[in-house]
Amino acid sequence: MTPNLPDTYTIKTATRSELPLVIQWATAEGWNPGIADAECFYAADNKGFFIGLLNGEPIASISAVKYNENFGFIGLYIVRPAFRGRGYGLQLWQRGLNYLQGCNIGLDGVVQQQNNYTQSGFQLAHRSIRYQGIGDSFSTQQPSANAQSNTQRDEILLSAKVLTSTARLVPLSSVPFESITQYDKTLFLAARTSFLQRWISSARHIAIGVVDSHQQLLGYGVLRPCHQGYKIGSLFANTPQFAEAIFLHLKAHVEPQVSFYLDVPEVNIEAVSLAQKHQMKAVFETARMYTQTAPELPLNRIFGITTFELG
């Protein structure tokens, strides 16, 4: 008879091929990740994803993306339900924190875990609210047989294309990538060049920008397909008017009766108003927390967070 061997728990850096499994777990948790999230996330930091294995079987995950030596972000902290309460997650959590040692570490914590994060040294910066909307009876991808719906769709798109005498909507692909990264860096805490390159160009992602007459970027937004519906994020803009124009253009690509989501920093009153104006309903919340003093981000220009997983 073979004796029962003690369980062996190990933690390893995840490979690109292992990330789809983590995304499956996130889907099972109800977090509704994007279809192309694994590819985009891995580009952010290919050493910043960790897997916990029990006797060689993957049972837990965490992402600890190091954007630079000063800032990192924790996400995808999951222990499969059958293996919870045994300390496996805590060991993985510590591995992630150790990887980001010396950084100001951010996370978007679910309500149930916020006390635990506080005990680990994280401090509340603000709440973030996930809003859910429903696609209209028309979309740019599926013209309606109803002439009135088509006219309404075209009026929205036309009004959004020319916002002012000096600002207009353009495909983000027409904007020099260096301009996009420079703009993004003013609204994030670090350059995220590799991630951003994939985020705005991944298949089925729709990316729209607002530029002035000198082609200077004044805002941008991305719509991505998820396991359920779509998410809008990032949604960054210099003014509420520009944010709404980008929002309307992206929203028009959502099929009728299909859900879409926008993750809003609650302290941006204009962003909350935008969601409510378009009949979106609050369905989920997180707390943005940091291990050090909350950075002074221009939250009045952040109308939609990029992702809860990577910041």
pLDDT of residue 144: 38
Query: Residue 47 pLDDT > 60, yes or no?
Result: yes
Judged against a pLDDT cut of 60, whether residue 156 lies above it is answered with: no
Residue 54 predicted with pLDDT over 90: yes
Give me the domains of the chain, ranges plus CATH numbers. Answer: 9-128 (3.40.630.30), 130-284+295-304 (3.40.630.90)
Backbone angles phi, psi at 190, to 5 degrees: -165, 165
What is the C-alpha separation between 251 and 271, in angstroms, rounded?
15
Q: Which of 52, 54, 62 is nearest to 11 (CA)?
A: 52
Q: Which residue has the higher pLDDT, 157 or 184?
A: 184
pLDDT in tens, 203-252: 889 999 999 989 999 999 999 999 999 999 999 999 999 999 999 999 99
Write the Ramachandran bin of 41: left for phi over 0, alpha for psi from -120 to 50, otherwise beta: alpha
Residue 15: count other Cβ atoms within 10 Å of its Cβ: 11
If one compares 149 and 6, the residue with the highest pLDDT of the two is 6
Instruction: Give pTM, 2 decimals.
Output: 0.89
CA distance 191 to 185: 5
pLDDT interval class at 6 (50, 70, 90): confident
The predicted pLDDT at position 137 comes to 66
